[in-house]
Amino acid sequence: MTPKVWTKNFWGFFMRKKHDYEALLKYMRMLEDGFPIDYIHNKFGIGAERLKCLWLQYQKQGISALHRKSYTQPGGELKQQIVSDIEKNHLTLVQASLKYGVSATRLSVWLKIARGQGLDALLITKKRGRPPGMGRPRKKKPEEMTELELLRVRVRQLEIENALLKKVKALVEERKARLRAIGRGQSEN
């Protein structure tokens, strides 16, 4: 089974698919058989750094390294500790990823923040999601509406219906005109 890595979505842009357990196991078997990491990276579209990390984890832990792990949000102090350990001991992202169980991509983001804004910037946590009050206003039920609001809703519905009927009438007239032009429709006389 060859996993498809890239697919086109509706607008023609390419989207990346996640690599499932079976695909990762296949990659590990290929690495065991002597295929180079670059070959697997280019053929299947999995990141080379991720593949290196998985390969090292697979060699240490076996098949259990390929299973998805539950995600825990590390605190600012842990982020600072990890970044300072990387800086002091000159660890590579792969080594630090294996040591702390954090993805190399996430580590590179933390390093960029720490180098640009200082270690204290890692303590700042942003709230996720939309701020309160950003959603659509709740629709009122007819029982909750005043008479004026009910009338406005009814007028809006009638305006929409009227516009739809005008559009249908215009389409019917256009079709009749096309049929008359090719000699298939009724004449106006």
Last residue of one domain, picked from the residues 53, 68, 83: 68
- The predicted pLDDT at position 33 comes to 92
Q: Which band of pLDDT confidence, cut at 50, 70 and 90, is reported for residue 128?
A: confident
Are 63 and 105 contained in the same domain?
Answer: no
DSSP letter, residue 8 = E
Task: Please tell me the total count of domains within the chain.
Answer: 3
Are 59 and 102 contained in the same domain?
Answer: no
Report which of residues 19 and 172 the model is more confident about: 172
**pLDDT digit string (tens) for 5-48?**
454 444 444 445 577 888 888 988 999 999 998 888 888 888 88
- Residue % of the chain over a pLDDT of 70: 87
- The predicted pLDDT at position 187 comes to 61
Q: Which band of pLDDT confidence, cut at 50, 70 and 90, is reported for residue 65?
A: confident
51 has pLDDT over 80: yes
- The predicted pLDDT at position 56 comes to 84
List the domain range (segments joined by +) for residue 82.
Answer: 71-124
Token code pair at residue 9 = 């979505």
Secondary structure of residue 78 in the 3-state scheme: helix
**pLDDT digit string (tens) for 83-113?**
999 999 988 888 888 788 788 888 899 999 9
Are 54 and 77 contained in the same domain?
Answer: no
119 has pLDDT over 80: yes
Q: Is 39 exposed, middle or buried (0-12, 13-18, 19+ CB in 10 A)?
A: exposed
- The C-alpha torsion from 83 through 24 and 21 to 69, rounded to 10°, is -10
Are 78 and 109 contained in the same domain?
Answer: yes
Are 13 and 60 contained in the same domain?
Answer: yes
Question: Considering the domain boundaries, does residue 129 fall inside one?
Answer: no
- The predicted pLDDT at position 4 comes to 46
Q: Which band of pLDDT confidence, cut at 50, 70 and 90, is reported for residue 189?
A: low
Are 64 and 11 contained in the same domain?
Answer: yes
Q: Is 47 exposed, middle or buried (0-12, 13-18, 19+ CB in 10 A)?
A: middle
Question: Considering the domain boundaries, does residue 188 fall inside one?
Answer: no
Token code pair at residue 139 = 């629709």
Mean of pLDDT over the chain: 82
In terms of pTM, does the model score above 0.85?
Answer: no
